[in-house]
Structure 1
Amino acid sequence: MKGSSSHRTLALTIIAVACTQAVAAHADQVVKIGHSAPLTGAIAHLGKDSENGARLAVEEINAKGLVIGGQRVTLQLDSQDDAGDPRAATQAAQKLVDDKIVGVVGHLNSGTSIPASRIYRDAGIVQISQAATNPAYTQQGFKTTYRVVATDAQQGPALATYAAQSLHVKTVAIVDDATAYGQGLANEFEKTAKSLGIRVVSHDATNDKAIDFRAIVTRIKGENPDAIMYGGMDATGGPFAKQARQLGVRARVLAGDGVCSGDLPNLAGTAADNVVCSEAGMALDRMPGGTAFALRYQNRFHQPLQVYAPFAYDAVFIIVDAMQRAQSTDPAKTLAAMPATHYRGVIGETSFDAKGDLQHGVISLYTYKDGKKQLLDVVKL
């Protein structure tokens, strides 16, 4: 009996080992997709919006099932907080590289995307920014940098042209937050404004942590411009517009996508109705999958999206599309497949030029009425 029991135990052990090996052979390969944006600080609501978009993409792909090169793959979102700070961004980028991601959706700000891009370049990992608009980001000659939004070289002129032709602006004061994004957008706006005959009465710089703009606004009030162009994010642009109204400034406030958020009415109050802002992409309700995406986003996160969620969502799918075409989860092979991207998603058709910029960008212009964002015009590039 003792011998028989021993044989039975050995047989059961062999079966158990065989079963474990069989399960391991069919176990899903876990592939990490990186994401980085400010998840803390004044614009954390925009970073979280982006993270939610990327997370929704990962969840939907996993629910449907993904096979790459004959192997079942489970995606895992590796999201790192860069706090909207250039130094923190390089640390977040290095953490993602160390985590062995296949690609990254990030960063949100131009001032974080540009320094982080060197980390990804050195590691040979594709970087798709969901929001960075400064032209310099893709002008570095890196084969790893891509973006799914138009650039400030397109957004600034579109905003200036609308100001001249539709708002009949003759004079403008410019204020920027001295970041790569805010200053870059303001400079592009200024060049086009001057070429269209708009007189720039002043150009001031503040910073991205400022909360009190009364000194600048008081001086601008004395200049009496038709409009004020503000280059920065909603966390500062909202209070700027609010204080301008409180001090009796009649000028319209012009701004870019950083200000053009769903949260602006909370930050600017009724002064949001005086804002005209641009976004470096198609309006949500005009995106091919925009309305359905907004509903899925609302159902999943129980809040309306801000700005960048659809762009982050599509960026995840574009990385996965490159893996599928490469039939590999190797970062180098995924990167090699990126130039041939032709992907149709929520934001529309995405294909890239040699620098990694969109081949067919769009600028949308908005205002606010009774606390709600309203589309004014769409400029196809």
Structure 2
Amino acid sequence: MKIMNISVISSAFLLASLAGFAQAEETVLIGLAGPLTGPSARIGKDLENGAQLAIDDVNKSHPVIGGKAVTFKLQSEDDQSDPRVAVAVAQRLVDSGVAGVVGHWNTGTSIPAARIYHDAGIAQVAPVATGHAYTQQGFDTSFRVMGHDDDGGNFAGQYAVNTLKARRIAVIDDRTAFGQGLADEFIKSLDAQGVKIIDRQYVDDKTVDFSAVLTAIRSKNPDLIFFGGVDSQAAPLARRIKQLGINATLMGAGGFVSQTFLTLAQKEGEGVVALEPGLPIDQMPGGKSFEQAYQSRYHTHIELHAPFAYDATRVLIAAMQKANSTDASVYLPVLRNINYAGVTGNIAFDGQGNLKNPSFTVYKVVQGKWQPQTVLGGTSK
């Protein structure tokens, strides 16, 4: 009679068990789309860092979905803040088999990319993309985790008139989906209050010399200039306003409140006012702990929107976990009806995919730092 060694049998069973466990593991790709090169690269990297922190935190909990051990992996793509590139990026992410996408940063890139994700049937959770038009396309795959510019422009207009007491208001916008849309909503808010703008000027998102538009505005003696655009242009705009001796407050919304603005504007940025979607980080439910984790991991400050990228990633994965599936056809209905306690606040979506009850914060540059002035909207709205 032949006797098999017990240790050999045990080893065989162990190897078989490990092989079975390995087969049960699954890697799930989450796409990240944003500007990783160009003038807004620091924003794109900030978004990527926030999303990666979310992925790492989820993986630490050893998630199991559909009976399989799951490891989430971030696949980042650079849309260069260019709508045409964004469409190619969206298709590349879809072709790679991502289960869902966090992105894009710009409204102008999110709008065309949204159709690609919708046609593929996967969720797109925008951490920013504040232009309302993004979710007005009617795609049931589009979501955002911060307020949109219809609300932001309205709040900005009310603050300009009621708090800043501005009456002679000029508007400049960069003709992008974000900048022009924001400026339009700001003007609507002024109109509703019986205030008519004294001038409206246009630039594009590559303009670096604002002399011509500001010279035209200066002749009309403004007390406030509202700019629909981002921080990389707002900084030289602020500098030129000071150089031309225009005694007017510069105001913007959604994209001004970054360290880059302060670095580029230096002393010329003093007194600039901006309205930003969301709460100040120290007022976010998980803001302080997130900031500590971010600085510990990346050894730098949060540039702007990393907490929102973190929440966009976490709420997407939370829907998969609750649905017990990474199949978008299964988790999408759960995502539409989710109620998630995030770092930035509670996340729930309306019928269009917009964040319910969004908050906005008014900031002002005081002694070279952005200082919160007041919080508008939120649950009291």
Contact 2:156 2:186 (C-alpha < 8 Å) held by counterparts: yes
TM-score in terms of structure 2 length: 0.94
Q: How does 1:1-381 map to 2 (within 5 A)?
A: 18=16, 21-26=19-24, 28-380=25-377, 381=381
Distance of 2:149 and 2:22 partners within structure 1? 49
Contact 1:230 1:254 (C-alpha < 8 Å) held by counterparts: yes
Partner amino acid for 2:340? Y
Partner amino acid for 1:195? A
Distance of 1:68 and 1:20 partners within structure 2? 19
Q: CA deviation at 1:25?
A: 3.1
* Structure 2 stretches lacking a partner, 5+ long: 3-7
Query: Counterpart of 1:7?
Result: none
Contact 1:43 1:234 (C-alpha < 8 Å) held by counterparts: no
Q: CA RMSD in A?
A: 1.9
Q: CA deviation at 1:225?
A: 0.6
SS of 2:219 mapped into structure 1:
helix
Contact 2:130 2:254 (C-alpha < 8 Å) held by counterparts: no
Q: CA deviation at 1:69?
A: 2.1
SS of 1:155 mapped into structure 2:
helix
Contact 1:169 1:198 (C-alpha < 8 Å) held by counterparts: no
Q: CA deviation at 1:309?
A: 0.4
Contact 2:202 2:213 (C-alpha < 8 Å) held by counterparts: no
Contact 1:234 1:267 (C-alpha < 8 Å) held by counterparts: no
Distance of 1:309 and 1:287 partners within structure 2? 13
Q: CA deviation at 1:287?
A: 0.5
Distance of 1:65 and 1:74 partners within structure 2? 7
Q: CA deviation at 1:330?
A: 1.2
Q: Which moved more, 1:280-289 or 1:80-89?
A: 280-289
Distance of 2:10 and 2:56 partners within structure 1? 38
SS of 2:270 mapped into structure 1:
helix
SS of 1:190 mapped into structure 2:
helix
Contact 1:110 1:134 (C-alpha < 8 Å) held by counterparts: yes
* Structure 1 stretches lacking a partner, 5+ long: 5-9
Distance of 1:110 and 1:194 partners within structure 2? 25
Contact 2:135 2:352 (C-alpha < 8 Å) held by counterparts: yes
Q: CA deviation at 1:22?
A: 2.9
TM-score in terms of structure 1 length: 0.94
Q: CA deviation at 1:248?
A: 0.8
Deviations 1:11-42 (A, max 9, x none): 9998897466334334x210011111101111
SS of 1:363 mapped into structure 2:
strand
Distance of 2:68 and 2:119 partners within structure 1? 28
Distance of 1:197 and 1:318 partners within structure 2? 41
Q: CA deviation at 1:276?
A: 0.5
SS of 1:216 mapped into structure 2:
helix
